[in-house]
């Protein structure tokens, strides 16, 4: 959510930003919110004048009573009553205007960074750099669930009977590999100075609307019936929510957290064959990282965060690339975003395994996360990035470490978490 003062003083900048995000239908909102803001400020000015007048007249009443001027005192009291009635009306109007303005401001997209490429959708994202050499072996790479089934490592049929489509049972070495990746990612981030956190897996609606747009909320979140609680779609939401309504001393920044959590997502819509299996699912586990920092430090932390994901995947012998997300592919709260994509030997292309985002002060403004820096207070900047999200990451891992005989190599970095194994053998 951008600053209403910024919109008031720079309406053309806000309009061009909306155009850059190909959301022209939102252009009328700029004039609408400017008009509402003018009306709101007029109401506030009148209310402030009445409050000042009330205090002045109250002092006069005391003076009239002391001087025995009863008629003057009664007239003053009547004026106070009339002012009180009008003030009550104005206070109601103030609340109504504030609600209307906030609702509109929460749908106007955040101002994107000047470096963001302009494009309509993810097909216009721009490749930045490749890390590692993508290899296509001279033997056929099976579909990822077929690989897992060779290890008796997945049971989609039973999961469908128990919970429906979009769920899975992971078994044996594949389940162990899944947990090993999560544990390795946890320690990887701790070694990079991040504080480990296990957050709440449910959050209240005021946190949900503080960390994401209404469109994202509708597409992603599961609500707990009868309660003001939602299952988290990513632990970023819980971790940023940790700072809601807080004034953070500048000397304690940056706050760098890495968290484990299960994640729950609706994943609306139909997807192609390559997004079946365990690619798009309703329940998965993830290691996440977030940063709360001073505004001037957020570009530096943005680069550090996506580099962490690149380094982790390369430590597991998985080639990756980074993509700069174009304007039309950015969620409304994001200032800038980079996707990390892993190489798929089977598909002979890269696919997304993580996304790094700088949200500027958008989340902090919604959640009232402020920095106390000497005598001044200002909104913090927040950033987030995926460390690793199995089982999607397992697709890249299995394909890139698969041998022709069906066995899978375990990179050295992961062996301590796999009981020292350097390879796991297929059972079928």
> Could you tell me if 338 and 306 are in contact, meaning their C-beta atoms sit under 8 angstroms apart?
yes
CA distances from 203 to 17, 45, 310 (A): 31, 37, 30
Residue in 265, 321, 365, 366 annotated catalytic:
265
265 classed as catalytic: yes
Backbone angles phi, psi at 385, to 5 degrees: -160, 145
Q: Is 204 helix (H, G, I), strand (E, B) or coil?
A: coil
352 classed as catalytic: yes
Residue in 261, 298, 355, 357 annotated catalytic:
355
> Could you tell me if 345 and 137 are in contact, meaning their C-beta atoms sit under 8 angstroms apart?
yes
Residue in 15, 186, 370, 392 annotated catalytic:
392
Residue in 94, 352, 407, 415 annotated catalytic:
352
Residue in 280, 285, 314, 407 annotated catalytic:
280
* 110 vs 116: CA distance, rounded Å: 13
8 classed as catalytic: no
355 classed as catalytic: yes
* 111 vs 109: CA distance, rounded Å: 7
> Could you tell me if 27 and 113 are in contact, meaning their C-beta atoms sit under 8 angstroms apart?
no
CA distances from 37 to 4, 97, 236, 255 (A): 8, 8, 32, 35
Structure tokens at 296: 């001037």
* 122 vs 233: CA distance, rounded Å: 21
160 classed as catalytic: no
* 108 vs 126: CA distance, rounded Å: 25
Q: Kindly compute the dihedral angle of the four CA atoms of residues 355, 356, 357, 358, in this order, to the nearest 10 degrees.
A: 180
Q: Is 202 helix (H, G, I), strand (E, B) or coil?
A: strand
Residues assigned a catalytic role: 265, 280, 352, 355, 392
């Amino acid at each position: 959510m951008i600053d209403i003062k910024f919109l008031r003083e720079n309406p053309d900048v806000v309009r061009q930003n909306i155009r850059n995000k190909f959301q022209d239908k939102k252009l009328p909102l700029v004039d609408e919110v400017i008009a509402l803001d003018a009306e709101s400020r007029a109401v506030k000015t009148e209310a402030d004048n009445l409050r000042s007048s009330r205090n002045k007249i109250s002092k006069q009443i005391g003076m009239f009573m002391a001087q025995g001027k009863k008629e003057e005192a009664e007239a003053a009291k009547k004026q106070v009553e009339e002012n009180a009635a009008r003030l009550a009306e104005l206070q109601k109007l103030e609340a109504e205007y504030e609600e209307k303005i906030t609702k509109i401001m929460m749908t106007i997209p955040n101002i994107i960074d000047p470096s963001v490429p302009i494009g309509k959708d993810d097909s216009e994202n721009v490749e930045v750099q490749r890390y590692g050499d993508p290899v296509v072996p001279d033997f056929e790479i099976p579909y990822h669930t077929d690989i897992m089934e060779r290890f008796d490592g997945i049971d989609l049929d039973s999961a469908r009977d128990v919970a429906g489509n979009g769920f899975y049972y992971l078994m044996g070495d594949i389940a162990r590999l899944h947990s090993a990746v999560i544990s390795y990612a946890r320690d990887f981030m701790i070694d990079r100075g991040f504080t480990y956190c296990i957050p709440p897996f449910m959050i209240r609606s005021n946190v949900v609307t503080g960390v994401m747009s209404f469109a994202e909320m509708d597409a992603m979140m599961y609500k707990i019936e009868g309660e003001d609680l939602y299952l988290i779609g990513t632990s970023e939401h819980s971790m940023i929510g940790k700072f809601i309504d807080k004034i953070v001393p500048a000397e304690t920044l940056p706050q760098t957290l890495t968290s484990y959590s299960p994640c729950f997502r609706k994943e609306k819509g139909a997807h192609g064959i390559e997004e079946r299996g365990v690619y798009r699912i309703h329940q998965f586990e993830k290691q996440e990282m977030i940063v709360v920092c001073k505004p001037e430090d957020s570009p530096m932390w943005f680069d550090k965060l996506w580099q962490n994901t690149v380094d982790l995947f390369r430590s597991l012998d998985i080639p990756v690339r980074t993509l700069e997300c174009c304007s039309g592919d950015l969620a409304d709260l994001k200032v800038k975003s980079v996707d990390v994509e892993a190489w798929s030997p089977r598909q002979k292309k890269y696919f997304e395994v993580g996304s790094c985002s700088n949200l500027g002060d958008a989340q902090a403004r919604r959640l009232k996360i402020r920095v106390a820096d000497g005598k001044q207070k200002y909104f913090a900047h927040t950033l987030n990035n995926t460390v690793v999200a199995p089982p999607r990451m397992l697709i890249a891992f299995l394909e890139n470490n698969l041998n022709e005989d069906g066995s899978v190599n375990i990179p050295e970095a992961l062996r301590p978490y796999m009981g020292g194994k350097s390879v796991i053998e297929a059972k079928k």
